[in-house]
C-alpha cells in the first residue's frame, strides 16, 4: 500500500493519498487545502484517484474538495450525518466559514461498516462521532486513518458544532478495540499506534 502525506492549509492538516501498489488506484483523504500540492503528489506517483473521502465536514479537511473534484472527475464521500451540513439551515455555516465549501456537496453519504475499495485495498468506515456528528475513521486491518478523532497523545476537541465529549469517549473506546499494532495516521500531527495511545489514555478511557 502506498501512503503519501501532504501537509496542507493554515492548520497543518494531514491529507493522505492512499493507493494500491500494483494498480495505482487510490483515494484522497481530507484534501484540506493546497490542491496544487496534492495534485503534484498524485501525478508524481502516477496515482489514479477514484474517490475523495472526508473524515468530517470541517473546512480545514475539505477546502480543496471542489477544485480536485473538477480536475480529477471523482466523487466526494462523507458520513451521512455530516452530509446533512450541506443542506437546509446548516449550510449557512459554510458561507460564513468559507464560500467555496458550500458548492462542494458530497456525492455519497457513508455509514458505519461501509467499505471503500480500490485495487486490492479495502477501507472500512468506522463511525466515530465526538469531534463532529459524522466523524469517521478508515481502517484496512493494519492501518487506521483517524481524522480528528485520535492523535498522537491527544483526542479530538469536542467543543465545536456537533461535538460531544460523551460520544468522543465512546469512539475512542471503539478504536481501542483494534489490534495494538494498528498504525494510526491522524488528521494533524505525527503518526502513532493503538498500543501507544491506549497507554496514554488508560486513565480516561
Please state, for a pLDDT cut of 70, what percent of the chain lies above it: 89
How far is the C-alpha of 163 from the C-alpha of 39, rounded, in Å?
A: 32
Residue with cell 501507544: 196
Global pTM reads: 0.92
In tens, the pLDDT along 18-39 reads 999 999 999 999 999 999 999 9
In tens, the pLDDT along 126-151 reads 999 999 999 999 999 999 999 999 99
Contact status, residue 112 vs residue 124, Cβ threshold 8 Å: no
Fold adopted by 2-200? Metallo-beta-lactamase; Chain A (3.60.15)
How far is the C-alpha of 190 from the C-alpha of 51, rounded, in Å?
A: 24
Describe the crossing of helices 65-72 and 35-44 by its angle, rounded to 10 degrees.
40
Delimit the domains of the chain by residue range. Answer: 2-200
Amino acid at each position: 500500500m502506498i501512503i503519501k502525506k501532504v501537509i496542507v492549509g493554515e492548520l497543518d492538516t494531514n491529507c493522505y493519498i492512499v493507493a494500491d501498489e500494483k494498480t495505482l488506484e487510490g483515494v484522497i483523504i481530507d484534501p484540506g487545502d493546497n490542491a496544487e500540492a496534492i495534485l503534484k503528489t498524485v501525478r508524481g506517483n502516477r496515482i489514479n484517484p477514484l474517490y475523495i473521502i472526508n473524515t468530517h465536514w470541517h473546512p480545514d479537511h475539505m477546502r480543496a474538495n471542489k477544485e480536485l473534484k473538477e480536475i480529477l472527475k471523482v466523487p466526494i464521500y462523507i458520513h451521512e450525518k455530516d452530509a446533512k451540513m450541506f443542506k437546509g439551515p446548516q449550510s449557512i455555516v459554510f458561507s460564513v466559514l468559507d464560500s467555496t465549501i458550500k458548492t462542494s456537496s458530497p456525492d455519497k453519504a457513508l455509514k458505519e461498516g461501509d467499505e471503500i475499495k480500490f485495487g486490492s485495498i479495502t477501507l472500512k468506515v468506522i463511525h466515530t462521532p465526538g469531534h463532529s456528528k459524522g466523524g469517521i475513521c478508515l481502517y484496512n486491518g493494519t492501518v487506521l486513518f483517524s481524522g480528528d478523532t485520535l492523535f498522537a497523545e491527544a483526542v479530538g476537541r469536542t467543543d465545536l458544532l456537533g461535538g460531544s465529549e460523551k460520544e468522543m469517549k465512546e469512539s475512542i473506546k471503539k478504536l481501542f478495540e483494534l489490534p495494538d499494532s494498528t498504525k494510526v495516521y491522524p488528521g494533524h500531527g505525527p503518526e502513532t499506534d493503538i498500543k501507544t495511545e491506549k497507554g496514554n489514555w488508560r486513565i480516561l478511557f
